[in-house]
Amino acid sequence: MARIIVVTSGKGGVGKTTTSAAIAMGLAKKGHKTAVIDFDVGLRNLDLILGCERRVVYDFINVINGEASLNQALIRDKNCNLLYILPASQTRDKDALTHEGVGKVLDELSKDFGYIVCDSPAGIEKGANLALYFADDAFVVTNPEISSVRDSDRMLGILSSKSRRAERNEEPIKEYLLLTRYDADRVKLGEMLSLEDVQEILSLELLGIIPESKSVLSASNAGIPVILDEKSEAGQAYADVVARYLGEKLPHRFIDGKKGFLRRLFGGRK
Amino acid sequence: MLNTPPKLEFKSSTFFAPILILYTNDMVAIEQALHDKISLAPDFFKDSPLIIDLREVNKLNLDLDFVELMQLLRRIGFFPVGIRGGNEQQNKQARALSLPIDTVRELGNSIVIGEVQKPENTQQPPAQPEVIAVKEPVQPAAIPPISAATILVTQPIRSGQRIYASGDLIILSQVSAGAEIMAEGNIHVYNTLRGRALAGVHGNTAARIFCFDLQAELISIAGDYKTSEDLNKQTYNHPVQIYLQNHALIIKEIA
């Protein structure tokens, strides 16, 4: 049985797809057969981030409608042969997603895969609800700003009330916080919420802080998940996230930011 | 597969719906009173199913325009799902409007609009869908019994969630901004209160709100409210109790 992870946030533009691509790749690199599904029907992006947009033939909706088999639609990643992508349809909308259809696809994938990562669309409508409904774990992606935190809080309410686990009265979805686009310098200046500010409202288990980094955008444009850029801080941060999710105990990094050039030369003062 | 899946099944269940007991046939007065009630808890009453109890009106021999009443209720946003205590003509009108009719058992004291639970109702004709209603005696409106369905919540109440208790409401986790907690009785929040808290929503002026850390967006007791803008800086972020005194909300720090 696969473990189903939903990457969700409520708010758009906080880094859900970047995160989905990175952690799916990270899990696959650790030797777990992983599928990542784009639930953003009509606004397909995941294939671009993973650099497989030119190999899309069939999509998620084709599989749901029985027009293609799962094996026909799944795209094997070119960097890691344990990672498979199920792209969204660009020509349809969220109404094409059905409860039964999604359930069937996830059931079938579960037989063969270790992890299934569901990249949720923004919002709290059908696409987002279906992406989280079958989940076992939720990665709540939040930016250190007040509207993102509130939307995440709203999403947590939905996770605890509208999932399959909630409906069946099973153990609730395990919720993790991923704080993305974190700029420690701006936090120090009081321009951005700190980790403590966010945790005061959300109080979730922190899986990692992803620092704001130019490498994220360049990686997206190149179609290579940022986790493969081992030199970048964002890449390292995502690698930590995957390791922590799989049970490793690692100290949190990137909370205090980089040391400045001079401080690096003369050693930091505390 | 040998067995085809069943096409449907019948299940017995009990659920909640407010009962509207009318004491007048004055449509204007009824509409005004309903608007007043709804303004206390707009979301709670929105699209609410409703049972209409006509016994009091009929006791007073008031002539009620049933069709007009239904139109009024639907216009306001209720969904009447049945009547009880109607006379022959009213029952006939209800049937014409496809409204189920509940046979009435003698009730104790009644509340004007209340949430009541129905135990097994054996007197109901079998063909009727099982709809709501009837319970053991209820105290008069002003003082709901403390024991009435106290609800205890240990999970955080997240933005957008709503909790309603027909008695007291006790919450051990935080209440997020954008959440709404309502109780006919008292509200206790043993954590940070950031959302909206409405106690005594059916007019119980003796209801109180207690919280460990007051950062609420809105607090209300029996319809008297304050928004966070009106909250005193001195009590903000402090453990407080909130109660009504001469129609004024008093926020007092708990030492």
The closest alpha carbon to A49, from A224, A181, A239, A227, belongs to A224
Distance CA A30, CA A238 (A): 13
Largest separation between any pair of C-alpha atoms in chain B: 72
Please answer yes or no on whether A154 and B194 come within 8 Å at the CB atom: no
Q: Would residue A268 count as lying in a domain?
A: no
Per-residue pLDDT of B13-50, as tens digits, reads: 666 677 888 888 888 888 888 888 888 777 777 777 88
What tokens does A243 get? Answer: 């390791």
What tokens does B54 get? Answer: 């006509």
> Which residue has better confidence, B159 or B117?
B159
How many beta carbons lie within 10 A of that of residue A203, not counting itself? 15
| pLDDT at residue B87 tops 60 | yes
Q: Residue B114: what pLDDT?
A: 31
Q: Would residue A61 count as lying in a domain?
A: yes
Count up the domains in chain A and report the number: 1
Distance CA A179, CA A193 (A): 11
* H-only helix segments in A162-212: 164-167, 184-188, 195-202
What tokens does B189 get? Answer: 């929040």
Chain B interface, mutation test: which of A148, A152, A161, A201, most B Cβ atoms within 10 Å? A201
Residue of B nearest to A152 (CA): B159
Please answer yes or no on whether A157 and B177 come within 8 Å at the CB atom: no
3-class state of residue A133 by DSSP? helix
The closest alpha carbon to B146, from B108, B197, B181, B184, belongs to B184
Q: Would residue A263 count as lying in a domain?
A: no
Q: Which positions in chain A touch B160 (Cβ < 8 Å)?
A: 154, 157-158
- B212 touching A (Cβ < 8 Å): no
Q: Residue A264: what pLDDT?
A: 54
* H-only helix segments in A36-98: 46-49, 60-64, 70-73
Residue of B nearest to A204 (CA): B156
- B181 touching A (Cβ < 8 Å): no
What tokens does A88 get? Answer: 């969204």
Per-residue pLDDT of A65-99, as tens digits, reads: 999 999 999 999 999 999 999 999 999 888 999 99
Q: Residue B49: what pLDDT?
A: 82
Q: Would residue A253 count as lying in a domain?
A: no
- Can you list the domains of chain B with their CATH numbers? 19-97 (3.30.70.260), 151-253 (2.160.20.70)
How close A124 gets to chain B, by Cα (Å)?
A: 11
Q: Would residue A143 count as lying in a domain?
A: yes
Q: How confident is the model at residue B124 (pLDDT cuts 50, 70, 90)?
A: very low
- A198 touching B (Cβ < 8 Å): no
Q: Would residue A105 count as lying in a domain?
A: yes
**DSSP tag of B41:** S
Q: Residue B71: what pLDDT?
A: 85
ipTM, 2 dp? 0.76
What tokens does B218 get? Answer: 């809105």
Binding residue numbers of A for ATP: 11-18
The closest alpha carbon to B131, from B107, B102, B154, belongs to B102
Per-residue pLDDT of B147-156, as tens digits, reads: 567 899 999 9
Please answer yes or no on whether B157 and A156 come within 8 Å at the CB atom: no
The closest alpha carbon to A50, from A11, A72, A20, A6, belongs to A20
Distance CA A253, CA A116 (A): 27
Q: Residue B58: what pLDDT?
A: 83
Torsion on CA atoms B237, B239, B241, B246, rounded to nearest 10: -40
- Average pLDDT for residues B139-143, to the nearest whole number? 44
Q: Which positions in chain B touch A157 (Cβ < 8 Å)?
A: 157-161, 176, 179
Interior angle at CA A177, CA A42 and CA A44, nearest 5: 10
Distance, CA of B239 to chain centre: 28
Do residues B128 and B12 lie in contact, with contact meaning Cβ atoms separated by under 8 Å? no
Q: Would residue A102 count as lying in a domain?
A: yes
Do residues A180 and A23 lie in contact, with contact meaning Cβ atoms separated by under 8 Å? no
Question: Which residues 6+ apart lie within 8 Å of A16 measured at CB?
Answer: A7, A8, A9, A119, A120, A122, A141
Percent of chain B scoring above 90 in pLDDT: 36
Please answer yes or no on whether A154 and B159 come within 8 Å at the CB atom: yes
- For the domain that residue A239 is a member of, what is the CATH number? 3.40.50.300
- For chain A, residues with pLDDT lower than 70 are 257-270
Please answer yes or no on whether B159 and A153 come within 8 Å at the CB atom: yes
Per-residue pLDDT of B162-174, as tens digits, reads: 999 999 999 999 9
Q: Residue A38: what pLDDT?
A: 97
Q: Would residue A124 count as lying in a domain?
A: yes
Q: Residue B37: what pLDDT?
A: 81
| pLDDT at residue B128 tops 60 | no
Domain span at A74:
3-246
